Amino acid sequence: MALRWTFLLLLTPLLAAQGQENPDPNISGEPQETGRCEVPSDWDPRLQFTPEQSSYALNDSVQLSCAGEYVPSVPHIRCVSRGMQTLWNGTATCKEVFQVVPGTLEISSTSIKLNWTCRLPDTCQHMRATCRLAGPSSPPCEAEEVEGEEMLHGQEGTFICPPLQPFTDYSVTISLPPSTILFEWLVRTEETVPDKPEKLWLDPNTGSLRWKALPPCKGEIIGYQLNITARSTRDGGLLQMERLRLSRSVTEHPLPGHGLGHSYTATVQGVTAVGAGAASLWEFQPDGLGTPHPAGISCRSVRDVSPSQGTAVLPLQPIARPPAEVREHQLIVAATHNGTLVEGACSGEPQPLNASRQPDTYVAAVLNLTAPTDFVLGAGTHGQGYRNAALRPGWDYTALLRLIQRSQEAEKFTCICYSFSLGK
Ligand SMILES: *[C@@H]1O[C@H](CO)[C@@H](O)[C@H](O)[C@H]1NC(C)=O
Ligand SMILES: *[C@@H]1O[C@H](CO)[C@@H](O)[C@H](O)[C@H]1NC(C)=O
Ligand SMILES: *[C@@H]1O[C@H](CO)[C@@H](O)[C@H](O)[C@H]1NC(C)=O
Ligand SMILES: *[C@@H]1O[C@H](CO)[C@@H](O)[C@H](O)[C@H]1NC(C)=O
Ligand SMILES: *[C@@H]1O[C@H](CO)[C@@H](O)[C@H](O)[C@H]1NC(C)=O
Ligand SMILES: *[C@@H]1O[C@H](CO)[C@@H](O)[C@H](O)[C@H]1NC(C)=O
Ligand SMILES: *[C@@H]1O[C@H](CO)[C@@H](O)[C@H](O)[C@H]1NC(C)=O
Ligand SMILES: *[C@@H]1O[C@H](CO)[C@@H](O)[C@H](O)[C@H]1NC(C)=O
C-alpha cells in the first residue's frame, strides 16, 4: 500500500509538467487553422451544413439538416474556442423522424409494450400502432382477435397492446395510412402456467388414474405433477403419499395399493417452463365407509402410555419389504390428532425438536428397522438431527413411522401412524 502511494505522488507532478510543456501541436504549428472549425470527417455523412463551407470562423453558428426521413439530433451547432483550441460546441448525427426506442419492446404473457419518439410531431400525427393476431386461431387453442389500434400523438409515448392471450403470436405494426408500414414485428407472448386438466378419472379396467393431455395453449406442456394420497382402510394407519413428476407424454398412472381397500385423494397439474398450473382433483372413498372427512385417517392405537414418565411404547414394524435398498425409517412426532396436519407431516420436512418452542412436529428418532421392535417414545435419547424428548402430559400425539423413497421423478412417503393421548 505504502509503495503504491509513493508511486502516485511521484507521478502527479510529472504529468502536470508534461501538460504545460507540450501544447496541442496541431494548433501551435498551423497558425492559419487557428480559430476555424472544420466539418469532422467522421461525422454522419447524411448531415448537411447551412451555410455550406469548407471551414467556419470562431462564433459561426451553423444550421443542420438531414436528407429523407431523418432529422438532425441538434438543429444548430457553433464554432467555439476552448483554451487554445477551436471546436464545435457539440456533436450531431441524423436520426429517424420516428423511432421505437431501442430496448423498450417489453413482452409479457398478456401484454406487449414499446416506447416511441417522434422528432417532427406534425409528420407523425397520422401514425397508427396496431396489435393483431398473427394467424388464424385454431382449436383447441382459440385466441380472440384484439381491437388494438392507437393514433400516436406528440413527441413520445408508450404503446400498449390491449390484454392478450399468453403464448400466442401477434403482429405489432406501426404504419402511416393509407399504406406505408414503418415497423412490423411478429411477437409471441410469454408462456404462463397451464389451465387445470379438464378431468381426472379412474380407468376401472386398468386400475389407473387417467387425465386428458393438456393442449399447449398457455405454454409448452413439459410434464404433469401427480400427487396421490392413499389411506388404507384395512391396515389401519397406513398412509402412502406419492409426488410424481411425469413427462408430458404420460397421461395415466397406476394407483398405489391397486385401488383395493384404500381411500384416495389425487391431484394432477400441468407444468410449463413457468411452473405448475391449477390442480384437477379426484377423490375416492370405498363403499360402506360412509363419508368421513377426506383427511380423516384412522391410526393404530398405543396401549402402553405413561403420562407420569412422558413415554409411550410403539410396536414398530419395518415398512420396507425386502429387497429394499432403503432401510432408514424416521419416527416423526406431531402434537395433534388433526388428519390434515398428520398428512402434512408425512410428506413434510420436520425440524429437530426446539426446546424453546411449543412441541409441534419433530423427528424423534432415525432407525434402521429390519425387524419388529418395541420403541419407547419419550425416552430422552438423541442424535444427529433427532431428539426423543419426553412427552408432555395432557397433550394429544400422533407418531408417524416413515420411509422415504426418492428418485429423479418421484418422491414416495409411506407412513404408519399411531395416535395416543397423555391423559390428564
Ligand atoms: C493533429 O491532427 C491530426 C490530423 O488531423 C490528428 O490525427 C491528430 O490526432 C491531431 N493531434 C492532436 C494532438 O490533436
Ligand atoms: C465570440 O463571442 C463571444 C461572446 O459571445 C465574444 O466575447 C467574442 O468576442 C466573439 N469572438 C469573435 C472572434 O467574434
Ligand atoms: C451550440 O450552439 C448552438 C447555437 O448557438 C446552440 O443552439 C446549442 O444549444 C449549443 N449546444 C450546446 C450543447 O451548448
Ligand atoms: C417507456 O416510457 C415510460 C413513460 O415515459 C417510462 O416510464 C418507461 O420507463 C419507458 N420504458 C423503458 C423500457 O424505457
Ligand atoms: C404436489 O406436490 C408438489 C411437491 O410436493 C407440490 O409442490 C404441489 O404443490 C402439490 N400439488 C398440490 C395440488 O397440492
Ligand atoms: C386441522 O388443521 C387444519 C390446518 O391447520 C385446519 O384448517 C383444520 O380446521 C383443522 N381441523 C380440525 C378438525 O381441527
Ligand atoms: C428455537 O426457536 C426459537 C424461537 O422460535 C428460535 O429463536 C431459535 O433460533 C430456535 N433454535 C433452533 C436451534 O432452531
Ligand atoms: C443405517 O444403515 C446405514 C447403512 O448401513 C448407515 O449408513 C446408517 O448410518 C444407519 N443409520 C442408523 C440411524 O443407524
Same domain, 412 and 344: yes
CATH number of the structural domain spanning residue 152:
2.60.40.10
Q: Which of 312, 303, 302, 307 is nearest to 394 (CA)?
A: 307
pLDDT at 202: 92
193 domain-assigned = no
Domain encompassing residue 160: 98-188
What's the pLDDT band for 135 if we cut at 50, 70, 90?
confident
The residue behind cell 397520422 is: 126
Site to probe by mutation for ligand 2, drawn from 59, 61, 81 as the one with most ligand atoms within 8 Å of Cβ, is: 59
Same domain, 210 and 243: yes
| pLDDT surpasses 60 at 31 | no
For residue 74, report the distance from its CA to the centre of ligand 3, in Å.
Answer: 8
What's the pLDDT band for 2 if we cut at 50, 70, 90?
very low
3 domain-assigned = no
d(CA 411, CA 405) in angstroms, rounded, equals 6
CATH number of the structural domain spanning residue 51:
2.10.70.10
pLDDT at 225: 98
252 domain-assigned = yes
Same domain, 310 and 416: yes
Same domain, 218 and 309: no
| pLDDT surpasses 90 at 4 | no
| pLDDT surpasses 60 at 420 | yes
Q: Whose CA is nearest to atom 12 of ligand 6?
A: 338
Same domain, 46 and 73: yes
**Boundary-marking domain end, from 284, 312, 344:** 284
Q: Which of 141, 276, 169, 266 is nearest to 222 (CA)?
A: 276
| Ligand 5 binding pocket includes 227 (Cβ within 6 Å) | yes
Q: Is 336 helix (H, G, I), strand (E, B) or coil?
A: coil
| Ligand 1 binding pocket includes 28 (Cβ within 6 Å) | no
**Boundary-marking domain end, from 61, 78, 96:** 96
Same domain, 307 and 409: yes
Say if residue 162 is preceded by a cis peptide, omega within 30 of 0. Answer: no
Give the list of residues 6+ apart from residue 85 with CB closer than 8 angstroms, or none.
24, 27
Same domain, 178 and 112: yes
Contact 196, 277 (CB under 8 A): yes
d(CA 43, CA 49) in angstroms, rounded, equals 12
73 domain-assigned = yes
d(CA 60, CA 48) in angstroms, rounded, equals 15
What ligand is nearest to the CA atom of residue 353?
Answer: 7
Same domain, 408 and 340: yes
Same domain, 340 and 317: yes
**Range with the poorest average pLDDT among 230-239, 245-254, 414-423:** 230-239
- Mean pLDDT for 197-224 is 94
Q: Which residue has the higher pLDDT, 32 or 87?
A: 87
For 245, the grid coordinates are 413428476
Strands (E), 12-90: 36-38, 47-50, 55-57, 61-66, 70-72, 76-82, 85-88
**Nearest atom in ligand 8 to 367's CA:** 13
pLDDT at 68: 78
pLDDT at 125: 82
Q: Which of 339, 345, 334, 315 is nearest to 391 (CA)?
A: 334
- Tell me: the pLDDT tens digits for 362-417? 999 999 888 899 999 999 888 888 889 999 999 999 999 999 999 999 999 999 99
Q: Whose CA is nearest to atom 1 of ligand 4?
A: 115
321: exposed, middle or buried (C-beta count within 10 Å: 0-12, 13-18, 19+)?
exposed
Q: Which of 213, 223, 221, 257 is nearest to 239 (CA)?
A: 257
Same domain, 156 and 234: no
Q: Whose CA is nearest to atom 13 of ligand 1?
A: 24
176 domain-assigned = yes
Please tell me the total count of domains within the chain.
4
pLDDT at 324: 63
CATH number of the structural domain spanning residue 321:
2.60.40
Same domain, 312 and 412: yes
What ligand is nearest to the CA atom of residue 325?
Answer: 8
Give the list of residues 6+ apart from residue 372 with CB closer than 8 angstroms, or none.
315, 316, 317, 318
CA dihedral for 141, 147, 150, 151, sign (positive or negative): positive
250 domain-assigned = yes
| Ligand 5 binding pocket includes 410 (Cβ within 6 Å) | no
Mean pLDDT of the chain: 84
What ligand is nearest to the CA atom of residue 28?
Answer: 1
pLDDT at 24: 39
66 domain-assigned = yes
DSSP string, 152-203: --SSEEEEEPPS--TT-EEEEEEEETTTEEEEEEEEEPPP-PPPPPS-EEEE
- Tell me: the pLDDT tens digits for 278-334? 999 999 887 655 544 444 568 888 989 999 999 999 999 888 775 667 778 999 999
For 398, the grid coordinates are 400422533
pLDDT at 289: 52
Number of H-type helices and E-type strands within the chain: 4, 34
| pLDDT surpasses 90 at 160 | yes
25 domain-assigned = no
- Tell me: the pLDDT tens digits for 50-84? 999 989 999 999 999 998 778 898 999 999 988 88
pLDDT at 259: 67
Same domain, 79 and 103: no
For residue 221, report the distance from its CA to the centre of ligand 2, in Å.
Answer: 72
**Boundary-marking domain end, from 188, 209, 242:** 188
What ligand is nearest to the CA atom of residue 277?
Answer: 5
d(CA 180, CA 166) in angstroms, rounded, equals 29
- Tell me: the pLDDT tens digits for 344-366? 999 998 877 777 766 689 999 99
Whether the model clears a pTM of 0.75, i.e. scores above it, the answer is: no
What's the pLDDT band for 18 if we cut at 50, 70, 90?
very low
